[in-house]
Amino acid sequence: MNTKPKGFSYVKTNFNYISYYKDGKWDEGTLREDDKITISGLSTSLHYGQECFEGLKAYRRKDGKVQLFRVEDNAKRFQMSCEHMVMPAIPIDVFIDAVKKVVKANESFVPAYGNKDTLYIRPFMIGIGDNLGLKPASEYIFSIIVSPVGPYFSGPVKPVDMLVSEYDRAAPNGTGHVKVGGNYAASLYARLSAKKSGYADCIFLDPRTHTKIEEVGVANFIGITKDGKYITPKSPSILDSITNRSLKWLAINELKIDVIEGDIYIDQLNDIAEAGACGTAAVITPIGSITNGNVKHVFPASEVIGETIKKLYDLMTGIQFGDIEDPNHWVTIL
């Protein structure tokens, strides 16, 4: 079938996975066709944001097979998020098995090889049940819904413009490092304001000093310095992006360039030649300019994707779609 995605919008597929936690244990978990969930209006996920999620993709290879990228890393990060939200963790092998099951059941929805479309996989956990006071729920749902998708932003060729947010997405010692709904709820207003003004997304500064680049709305920030180093912010309140981790590895081991994890001051961007946003949905989206108040900083690579980010993009997507040999056991062929 190979359904064509509608950008990054939901297209219903045949099956989703659902598992219930009650009386201290998870049930077997099943695949089902209905993608609706009926829960109590007093669910902790609805009132207190007790929930977390993941995002990963299934890729169609040239030989027609389907593969996952670093699924174990998503399983581990999901466990961290569950722990932080005081929710019962899903064992790594159960998470991986559930992802495989739901992708296989929807194989015909994995887009054809060739134009970088993929099947987006959204595992999530929600606190449910009749709760009124603020405390962790005693019942949960773990579910996985998938949808064919295209790139989140306009694509790799034309760099996008971003606006610095005057709001924070996460507190200095808050939940910025885990993938929980509250971070995204906190970012909605800033993202919408940026989009209304014609920007692709917003950039959040560090919540303690508001002087350093912290995070893009739905991705990590990366840059290539004028002397050819890969630079990305180091902060306890950003999401440890699996894409960024992979790019750092590729920068060091394939491009043989240095990687700096450190401070990127918003008023000192002159050293950066190429900038980008990286993540599962964003892949690597080049950033052409960043506007902070009334100052617009335009990067040298503002019209077309920069040379080094392009090399990283080609390596990364080459591995993800199976065109380049997987150097690190990142890939799981189904």
CA dihedral 91, 97, 101, 102 (to 10 degrees): 40
Does 147 sit near ligand PLP (CB under 6 A)?
no
CA dist., res. 263 & res. 210, Å (int) = 12
Among the listed ranges 40-48, 236-244, 259-267, 286-294, the one in contact with ligand PLP (CB under 6 A) is: 236-244
Does 279 sit near ligand PLP (CB under 6 A)?
yes
CA dist., res. 99 & res. 57, Å (int) = 10
Measured CA angle at 193 (ends 187, 49), to 5 deg: 25
Provide the 3-class DSSP secondary structure of residue 292. strand
Strands, E assignment, 177-326: 201-205, 213-216, 220-225, 230-233, 259-262, 272-279, 283-292, 295-298
Phi-psi region of 49 (alpha: psi -120 to 50; beta: other; left: phi over 0): left
231 binding partner (options ligand PLP, ligand COI, none; Cβ < 5 to 8 Å by kind): none
122's tokens: 């959204």
237 binding partner (options ligand COI, ligand PLP, none; Cβ < 5 to 8 Å by kind): none
Please give the residues from 238 up to 277 whose contact with ligand PLP meets the rule CB under 6 A. Answer: 239, 241-244
327 binding partner (options ligand COI, ligand PLP, none; Cβ < 5 to 8 Å by kind): none
Least distance from C-beta 279 to ligand COI, angstroms?
A: 4
Residues 6 or more apart whose CB falls under 8 angstroms from that of 133 comprise none
Catalytic, out of 36, 100, 179, 195:
179
Please give the residues from 208 up to 227 whose contact with ligand PLP meets the rule CB under 6 A. Answer: 215, 218-220
- Cα–Cα separations (whole angstroms), residue 207 to 43, 171, 261: 30, 6, 18
Please give the residues from 177 up to 196 whose contact with ligand COI meets the rule CB under 6 A. Answer: 184
Q: Which is nearer to ligand COI, 121 or 257 (CB)?
A: 121
Binding mask 47-86 for ligand PLP (x = CB under 6 A): --------x-------------------------------
Q: Which amino acid is at 79?
A: Q
Q: Which of 18, 85, 119, 218 binds ligand COI (CB under 6 A)?
A: 218
Least distance from C-beta 28 to ligand PLP, angstroms?
A: 28
Q: Which is nearer to ligand COI, 218 or 312 (CB)?
A: 218
104 is catalytic: no
CA dist., res. 115 & res. 283, Å (int) = 13
CA dist., res. 252 & res. 258, Å (int) = 6
Least distance from C-beta 6 to ligand COI, angstroms?
A: 14
Instruction: Tell whether the torsion through CA atoms of 141, 31, 121 and 6 is positive or negative.
Output: negative
Does 119 sit near ligand COI (CB under 6 A)?
no
Please give the residues from 232 up to 291 whose contact with ligand COI meets the rule CB under 6 A. Answer: 279-281
Least distance from C-beta 124 to ligand COI, angstroms?
A: 10
Q: Which amino acid is at 275?
A: A
- Give the interface with ligand PLP as residue ranges (CB under 6 A): 55, 215, 218-220, 239, 241-244, 279-281
- Give the interface with ligand COI as residue ranges (CB under 6 A): 55, 184, 218, 279-281
* Residues that are catalytic: 179
